[in-house]
Amino acid sequence: MHELPVIKSILDICLKHAKINRANKILSINLIVGDMSDLEPEWMQRYFDYICKGTIAEGAKLIIERTPVLFQCDECSHQFNIDIKKIETLKCPVCGNNKCTLISCNDYYISNMGVM
């Protein structure tokens, strides 16, 4: 439900960078979004198509890469990904220890964009 302000922010950032780089048209935007974020890709594109009308980003495709939830083992420091629905069986795949710390889960940035 909060896709609209987020999309507006994405458009503003992209237009700013397009201007700095003297681009005439934005063709694609690559986003990195953590798995714990609740943004819905289909709605993001739909909102984007709506608010980018009349700008150089009109028609641009949002390419969303989801990054998995990352834990680190408190014992051996091994880092591993996990499906958040399975946290009840959380244990380090290397040493089997079940005390692990959440490292990252909600990345939220624009990595790059394709322009002309």
Partner 1 sequence: MERIRLIEVKEGILSDNEKLADELRKLLLKKKTFLLNLMASPGAGKTSLILKTITALKNDFRIAVIEADIDSIVDSEKVAASGIPAVQLRTAGFCHLDASMVKKGLDAINIDSFDLIFIENVGNLVCPAEFDTGAVKKAMILSVPEGDDKPLKYPLMFTVCDVLILNKIDFLELTDFNMQKLKERVLILNPRIKIIEVSCKTGQGIDIWADWLKNEVTTFIGPHV
Rounded Cα distance between 87 and 98, Å, is 10
67, 78, 79, 108: residue in contact with partner 1 (rule CB under 8 A) = 108
| 5 HSE (CA, 13 A, CB side) | 2
Alpha-carbon span 97 to 32, nearest angstrom: 30
* 6 forms part of the interface with partner 1 (CB under 8 A): yes
Query: Considering the rule CB under 8 A, would residue 2 count as an interface residue with partner 1?
Result: yes
- Alpha carbon dihedral 24, 27, 28, 29, in 10-degree steps, equals 20
Please give the C-alpha separations between residue 69 and each of 19, 27, 84, 96, in angstroms, as whole numbers: 34, 29, 7, 18
Question: Closest distance between partner 1 and the C-beta of residue 54, in Å?
Answer: 20
Only one of the segments 48-56, 60-68, 95-103 lies at the binding site for partner 1 (rule: CB under 8 A); that segment is 95-103
* Binding track, positions 26-45, relative to partner 1; x by CB under 8 A: -x---x----xxx-------
Q: Name the site residues for partner 1 (rule: CB under 8 A).
A: 1-2, 5-6, 9-10, 12-14, 17-18, 21, 23-25, 27, 31, 36-38, 69, 84-85, 87-88, 90, 100-102, 105-106, 108-116
